[in-house]
Amino acid sequence: MSATILFSTTARVLRQLTHDRRTIVMVIALPLVLLTLVYYLFQNSPGTFDRIGLVMLCVFPFVLMFLITSIAMLRERTSGTLERLLTTPLHKLDLLFGYGIAFGLLAAVQAAAATALAYWAFDMHTAGSPGLVIVIAVADAILGMALGLFFSAFAASEFQAVQFMPLVAFPQVFLCGLFVARDQMAGWLHALSTVMPLTYAVQGLQEVGGHPDPTGLMWRDLCVVVGAAVLALGLAAATLRRRTG
């Protein structure tokens, strides 16, 4: 790996984004719009937004980053730029981490905006610090991004790539404890939720919601989310083959 190539790749991905202002606006604004919708949905049931809004703060960036990165990586593959890059001194990890840093920055802005809206406009209450909420939301966005990079390898077209989103994201959203508490799930569903990384992001946020100080469980959850993201990036690197048929 080379620091120069890593940073120029990060800069290149960010520059591509700056030529696509509408995408940036959508990435930042979309979670705000959806969060607003959720707020008014539960306006008449006190305390519900504190619970659901909080979880939403990590679900939106996860889903959105998954989609954006899987399409971005698919474009690299189908346009031939990936094949070309792999004939240059660029290391696979320069490319993957370049995407990781660039989209991670975007995710940080997105998470900060959504968190600010939830606390200030919608008066969300958590026992713990909003800073920790942002940290977990960004870690979760990076996880979504890493999974997107990995799953894009299995999509031959944009039509397929967008369908990986419901396939990968929806079951995790269903089973993360948002709709039904995990201890009330059937045994096999509970077992499934245990191997799904989004579960840990949600649990980490719930820990921040319920405890004034960061708990051991929260740190463990954060480590699981980051670990899963690193694992997914490693798997994604394995799918970048220099030689193809």
Partner 1 sequence: MASAVEVQDLVVIRGKKTVLHGISTAVPEGRVTGLLGPSGSGKTTLMRAIVGVQRVHSGRVGVLGHPAGASALRHQVGYVTQAPSIYADLTVRENARYFASLYPGVTHRDADQAIRDVGLAEAADQLVRTLSGGQHSRASLACALLGNPRLLILDEPTVGQDPVLRDELWQRFHALAAAGTTLVVSSHVMDEARRCDRLVLIREGRVVADDTPDAVRASAGTDDLENAFLRLIRQRNEVAA
Nearer to partner 1, 23 or 36 (CB): 23
CB of 158 to partner 1, least distance (A): 15
Burial of 156 (0-12, 13-18, 19+ CB in 10 A): exposed
Query: For residues 107 and 141, is the Cβ–Cβ distance under 8 A?
Result: yes
Q: How far is the CB of 80 from partner 1 (least distance, A)?
A: 3
| Other CB atoms within 10 Å distance of the CB of residue 23 | 14
State in angstroms the smallest separation of the CB of 74 from partner 1: 14
Q: What number of residues does the chain have?
A: 245
Binding site for partner 1 (CB under 8 A): 4-5, 8-9, 11-12, 15-16, 19-20, 79-81, 83-90, 242-245
- Provide, rounded to whole angstroms, the least separation between the CB of residue 20 and partner 1: 6
d(CA 57, CA 178): 12
**Nearer CB in complex with partner 1: 15/125:** 15
The structure tokens listed for 1 are 């790996």
Single-letter amino acid, residue 99:
Y
Question: Which of 58, 43, 3, 20 is closest to 197 using CA atoms?
Answer: 58
Sole residue written with tokens 């992001």: 201
- Shortest spacing between CB 21 and partner 1, in angstroms: 11
Dist CA 111 CA 30 (whole Å): 11
Instruction: Indicate the residue among 13 and 229 with the shorter CB distance to partner 1.
Output: 13
Q: How far is the CB of 120 from partner 1 (least distance, A)?
A: 35
Dist. CA 53–CA 177, nearest whole Å: 13
| Cβ proximity of 60 and 31 under 8 Å | yes
Of the two residues 187 and 245, which places its CB atom closer to partner 1 in the complex? 245
Q: Report the nearest approach of partner 1 to the CB of residue 101 (Å).
A: 15
CA distance 207 to 126: 9
Beta-carbon count within 10 A of 129 CB: 13
